[in-house]
Structure 1
Amino acid sequence: MTRVLLATRNAKKLVELQRILDGVLGSQRIQLVGLADVPAYQEVPETGLTFGENALLKAREGVKWANLPTIADDSGLAVDALNGMPGVFSARWSGRHGDDRANLELVLAQIGDVPDEHRGAAFVCAAALVLPGGKEHLVDGRQTGRLLRAPRGEGGFGYDPIFLGDQQDRTNAELSPEEKDAVSHRGKALRALAKVIAKALPAESAGWTGR
């Protein structure tokens, strides 16, 4: 089984990606570990102006310090009425990184007077795989929909409780994990990345063992 680092401290993301990889590759193929499972290193600031730039920054650092194939993603919410924001600032839109509730409430307040027909939005995800040999792969995924006026559902995380995807009658937070994987931006990106992993890792992993 090949150990692969997911460059995040978000336990929900770790579980989500392991579930997606198992579905594509089989449960005996990849052992996914997070930043809490490797020796600590100084994490690089997310200074990129696009999701792809940030994903690659984080994945390169993981390879540099952990010497493991590293997956990193950057994702967020692009709101039509906010000209595509919060975008790469989604996780810290309220000024406090990772405060999901505050971020959600700020977005709702900012578009409070926007009529329903103009509350379009999309979840966007870029996922990168960087290998110890230096090769890099980048894929993306997108889920379009609209924003509700109040949260619904207890599942998911981030902006899931206010996001109603196209052709859905439930928010992402009301979907089961498997249902969300099938339609979400991250699910689409990571399924695409899993296909890359299936081809890339056997050839690249023979010469290293990690540390």
Structure 2
Amino acid sequence: MSREESSMPRAFFVTGNQYKAEEVARLLSGIDVVWRKLALPGHEPADDAQGPIDLGALAKRKVLAAYQVLGAPCFVETTALELDSGVTLTGARFKKQWLAQGERAFLDTHGGNRGRARVAVAFSENGHPGHVALFEGSMAGTLLTEPRGEGGYGWDRAWLPDGYERTLGEMAQHKFFLNMRHRPYLELADRLREQSAGGAYEAHVTIAARSEDEFQRFRAFCGAAGVKCIFIELGQGEARFQPMTASYHHGPLKQAQEEVQAFARALAVEGFDVTRLKIEALGANKDIPSDDATARAQPANYFEFHVKVTLPAEGADVEALRARCERYGAHLSRNARKVRADGGAERFVTLRVKGLGRANAEARFSAVLRDLAETGLPLSYPLREYTVYDSNHALDRGWGEVRS
């Protein structure tokens, strides 16, 4: 029986930390991974252990123990805070001291030291000790004497990464692609994902622009980087205004993710709050599922279809258009910064479909196009894309729920 037929996830992520599970879910968006809590005692170094900690060996021991319980592909991670003062704490030992001493006393003792935060991710496909895959990452920075920010967990509020002016706690919304995890989980994703030749992708990096000045600064940054900037306004929803980039990439998905994350990190350095990374496969890209079974095996991914509708300067009935679209689960948006010389208005119709292969998904879009054609309104620029990575599905809550 195939994994898709048995509803077996691609892998289990074993951790007792809900916040860590949520962060990893964003890094591995598009891959069917299930969070599982398991008690794995006896695999931490002793409290009085001295010297460097072999995080990789520790992670391997844990993942093999997890596989013995689950009997299915799984992965774990171990973390450590290594300070130049000579103090080295695993994530578990750090938590124990942090809770025992309190944040203030811990930072009085250890704050002001440079060092690095490390992570080791171990993946076991079959439980064989010789077949464990290991992925490691680190981030240099300084443990501050005063915490800053209200987000994150662990040492995030006090950890100032090199090259940034804000702590991870102040960048909690997008720290998943900034901290030590982003590289090892890119490599793990490449291992977990079905092998493909990739192809062409379009990527969008969305920010939270809270003022006109911030939006203009974002537009200037994009212009200097040679990246298109657009300002999408949704018809409804919790995050109606979404300034974002639009860029094209070619090659394997991992390469596209690396390029998009690098640009997002550059935005974070400039003080922007990144709210979403999204990558869409285009055209003949091999990541687009051709049949329903393949699509159902990727429950976080979805087709996204667009067509532009031009409305007249007078007598435009946007609500009637919206109602017509909603019969199919489609939604309206617009480019808030675009003004037509003839006084007309433009709306983008977006239809999202998951769990269907290319032919069946496109059949739904064709039905929308036929219905819209009956209005007599000009239709242009139909686009067909397949979202292979979306770090924040919730950003469109109240607007773009995906239909199966």
Range class of TM-score, shorter chain: 0.7 to 0.9
Structure 1 residue 108, shift from structure 2 partner:
1.6
> Residue 149 of structure 1 aligns to a residue in which SS?
coil
Q: Deviations over 1:29-52 (max 9, x none)?
A: 3132212xxxx6x52322454211
Superposition pairs of residues 37-76 of structure 1, within 5 angstroms: 43-47=40-44, 49-76=53-80
Q: Deviations over 1:71-92 (max 9, x none)?
A: 10000211112x1x2332x432
The partner residue of 2:136 within 137, 140, 153 is 140
Residues 1:15 and 1:124: Cα distance change in structure 2 (over 3 Å): same
Other-structure match for 1:204: none
Other-structure match for 1:197: 192
CA contact (8 A) 2:71 2:127 kept: no
The whole-number CA distance in structure 2 between the counterparts of 1:182 and 1:73 is 16
The partner residue of 1:177 within 173, 176, 199 is 173
Structure 1 residue 106, shift from structure 2 partner:
4.7
Which structure is higher in strand share? 2
Structure 1: 5+ residue stretches without partners: 201-211
The whole-number CA distance in structure 2 between the counterparts of 1:55 and 1:32 is 18
CA contact (8 A) 1:124 1:143 kept: yes
The whole-number CA distance in structure 2 between the counterparts of 1:45 and 1:75 is 16
Q: Which amino acid aligns with 1:190?
A: Y
Superposition pairs of residues 41-190 of structure 1, within 5 angstroms: 43-47=40-44, 49-81=53-85, 83=86, 85-88=87-90, 90-93=91-94, 96=96, 99=99, 102=101, 104-111=103-110, 119-132=113-126, 134=128, 135-178=131-174, 180-190=175-185
Other-structure match for 1:206: none
The whole-number CA distance in structure 2 between the counterparts of 1:106 and 1:46 is 28
CA contact (8 A) 1:155 1:174 kept: yes
Residues 1:111 and 1:66: Cα distance change in structure 2 (over 3 Å): closer
> Residue 175 of structure 1 aligns to a residue in which SS?
helix
Which structure is higher in helix share? 1
Q: Which amino acid aligns with 1:63?
A: Y
Please give the root-mean-square deviation of Cα atoms over the aligned residues, in Å: 2.4
The whole-number CA distance in structure 2 between the counterparts of 1:72 and 1:106 is 30
> Residue 64 of structure 1 aligns to a residue in which SS?
helix
Q: Normalising by structure 1, report the TM-score.
A: 0.75
Structure 1 residue 64, shift from structure 2 partner:
0.8
> Residue 53 of structure 1 aligns to a residue in which SS?
helix
1:6 aligns with 2:7: no
The whole-number CA distance in structure 1 between the counterparts of 2:42 and 2:98 is 14
Aligned length: 179
Structure 1 residue 189, shift from structure 2 partner:
2.0
Q: Which has the higher contact order (CA 8 A, sep 6+)?
A: 1
Q: Mark the structure with the bigger radius of gyration.
A: 2
The whole-number CA distance in structure 1 between the counterparts of 2:65 and 2:187 is 22
The whole-number CA distance in structure 2 between the counterparts of 1:192 and 1:103 is 35
> Residue 169 of structure 1 aligns to a residue in which SS?
coil
Q: Give the 4+ runs in structure 1 shifted more than 6 A.
A: none
Residues 1:97 and 1:60: Cα distance change in structure 2 (over 3 Å): farther
Other-structure match for 1:207: none
Q: Normalising by structure 2, report the TM-score.
A: 0.41
The whole-number CA distance in structure 2 between the counterparts of 1:87 and 1:57 is 18
Residues 1:163 and 1:98: Cα distance change in structure 2 (over 3 Å): closer
> Residue 44 of structure 1 aligns to a residue in which SS?
coil
